[in-house]
Amino acid sequence: MGGYRWRGRLGPAVPVAPGARVDRFEVFFDLVFVFSFFIITRATALQITGGALLHALLVLAVLWWSWVVHSVVATRVRLGEGFVPVLMTLGMAALFCFALSLPNAFRDPRGNAAGPIVAAVSYTVLRMVHLLLYLHAVRDSPNERRQLMRFAPEVIGSTLLLGVAALVPPQLDGLASASLVRDGLWAAVVVLQYSTGMIAGTWGWGVASAEHWTERYDLILIIALGESVISVGVGSNLLGQPPTVPAVAAATLGIFFTAALWWVHYDMIGPAARIALHTAKDGPRVAMARDAYAYLYLPMIAGIILFALGAETIVHQIADPSMPEHLPPHGPGVPLLFGGVICYLCGNMLFQLRTLRTLSWTRVGAVLLLAVSIPVASHLPALAALALLTAICVGLVVAEVVIFDEGRRALRGLVFEERASHEAHEAAWRARWHEPEERDEGE
């Protein structure tokens, strides 16, 4: 009875309308994901090793699955309406604690249980919040409730596996065996989650608003790209020392190539994919939403994290006044920088192939050029290596603007017509608000 009273005072959960857009609370929730991406990058940048990169990718995959579940819940209820923000604030707190615990989740497992336990508990709380909200949203739909039960083993299994990964490794004697068990359990969580999404299928699900779904994922990709900007800023260290010409040049190049990678997706592919998802209906729409957005955005975001790490390493070397300018980049900076961009572009090409059934030869050529440029960049001065990457990324954008000019114009014309029609419909609907005033003036 008490729960009914507080829900009644706050208002009921509001369903998502077919033409809904992202609300402000969803963007507010994304601030915690900004912090999570930041923590993953910062924790990995402390000591970039193969193991640290593996751990970063495992954490990113588990974190991304929580984002996918979050976006699925947001297709059914408005997260900023009624009593829902109260529960979502609890979820935000849990996600924030999960992010705070990540730097300690993969340290020496034999004497470090606090970090993994906080990670497991906070992740469980977040998943329970999502589960409760979705159960409330589908309470009147038997088909969707049955479909939700197909995910029960994943919810139970992933939270239990993270709990075991927190409690069992500290009890083992050998560091190698404890680390292997912990990493294996996290990998099992990733396999369980993503395989469940494929096995459960699309029956019983629905994407009410293709506009909301695509906008949701486009915003989180922009947030991830912001991590590259942060890494370039951290690497340049302009706040801690007087600016130098190489440091300013490196920071500028970092902005240029990040902007080019933004353009790669948002100039043509993103808008065209949005239209494709609008066109699809029922099962095909759900399958496209799952494959292209829930799954294929992950390699793009992983690529962003990787090239952000590489950019920070190289820019830090360029900005260091004690380092000679002619020295080539040291450490894993070049492979991470070029490899991360390759991963991002490959993920974007797979996204294009899944949504539009096309593949741009310009992007295939850019990926091949980036791959053969890695050994070349490894022997160039650090600033020249960064300039080479920027030239390839900007060159890709320029080439596509020139070569696909006709297609770009047609797409923009279609998008403009769609927006003009939508805005005219909204204006006509809102004109009714002024009808009483007009009648009073006539009288």
What is the mean predicted confidence (pLDDT) over 36-63? 88
Question: Would you say 116 and 104 are in contact if contact means Cβ atoms under 8 Å apart?
Answer: yes
- Looking at the fold, whether 266 and 409 belong to one and the same domain comes out as no
In terms of domains, do 133 and 219 share one? Answer: no
Q: Which of 3-7, 99-103, 175-179, 387-391 has the highest mean pLDDT?
A: 387-391
Question: Total structural domains in the chain?
Answer: 3
Cα separation, 209 vs 274, whole angstroms = 11
Percent of the chain with pLDDT over 90: 35
Q: List pLDDT tens digits, range 141-193.
A: 777 777 777 788 888 999 999 999 888 877 777 777 888 888 899 999 999 99
Residue 5 scores a pLDDT above 60: no
- The answer to whether residues 212 and 116 belong to one domain is no
pLDDT at 1 over 50: no
Report the predicted TM-score, pTM, of the whole model to 2 decimal places: 0.89
Q: How sure is the predictor about 384, in pLDDT bands with cuts at 50, 70 and 90?
A: very high
Domain carrying residue 419 = 405-442
Mean per-residue pLDDT of the chain: 84
- Shared domain for 2 and 127, answered yes or no, is yes
Average pLDDT over residues 333-350: 95
Q: Identify which of 273, 248, 237 has the alpha carbon closest to the alpha carbon of residue 356.
A: 273
Pick the more confident residue, 286 or 5: 286
> What are φ and ψ of residue 39, in 5° steps?
-65, -45
When pLDDT is averaged across residues 315-341 and rounded to a whole number, the result is: 84
CB distance 308 to 231 below 8 Å: yes
Residue 27's alpha-carbon distances to 33, 46, 82, 218, 430, in angstroms, are 10, 29, 17, 12, 26
Q: What is the pLDDT of residue 194?
A: 93
pLDDT at residue 354 above 70?
A: yes
Q: What is the pLDDT of residue 368?
A: 97
* Structural contact between residues 322 and 243, judged by C-beta atoms closer than 8 angstroms: no
Q: Do 22 and 74 share a domain, yes or no?
A: yes
pLDDT of 286 higher than 60: yes
b/e map 273-287, b = 16+ CB within 10 Å: bbbbbeebeeeebbe
CA distance 40 to 55: 9
Q: Does one domain contain both 254 and 277?
A: yes
Whether the pLDDT of residue 69 is over 70: the answer is: yes
Q: Are residues 261 and 129 located together in one domain of the fold?
A: no
- Are 154 and 224 in the same domain? no
Q: Is 113 helix (H, G, I), strand (E, B) or coil?
A: coil
For residues 226 and 231, give the distance between their C-alpha atoms in angstroms, rounded to a whole number.
9
The last residue of a domain, from among 148, 171, 205: 205
Give the number of other CB atoms < 10 A from CB of residue 46.
Answer: 8
* Intra-chain end-to-end CA distance of the chain, in Å: 51
- Answer yes or no: do 172 and 292 share one domain: no
CA 169 to chain centre: 30
Checking if the pLDDT of 82 tops 90, the result is no
Give residue 299's pLDDT band: very low, low, confident or very high (50, 70, 90): very high
Burial 53-88 (b: 16+ CB within 10 A, else e): bebbbbbbbbbbbbbbbbbbbbbbbbbbbbbbbebb
Closest CA to 187 of 291, 44, 61: 61
Paired tokens of 319: 């900005």
**The predicted structure's pLDDT at residue 235:** 63
20 φ/ψ sector (left φ>0, alpha ψ -120 to 50, else beta) = beta
Is a pLDDT exceeding 70 seen at residue 101? Answer: yes
Which range among 91-95, 125-129, 416-420 shows the weakest confidence by mean pLDDT?
416-420
Express each pLDDT in 236-276 by its tens digit: 665 566 777 888 888 889 889 999 999 999 999 999 999 99
Are the beta carbons of 203 and 147 closer than 8 angstroms? yes
What is the spatial distance between Cα 441 and Cα 95, in angstroms, rounded to a whole number?
A: 55
Residues 201, 280, single domain; the answer is: no
- Judge if 39 and 49 occupy the same domain: yes
Q: How far apart are CA 344 and CA 92, in angstroms?
A: 28
List the alpha helices (DSSP H) in 200-294: 210-236, 245-264, 270-279, 282-288
Q: Are residues 416 and 369 in the same domain?
A: no
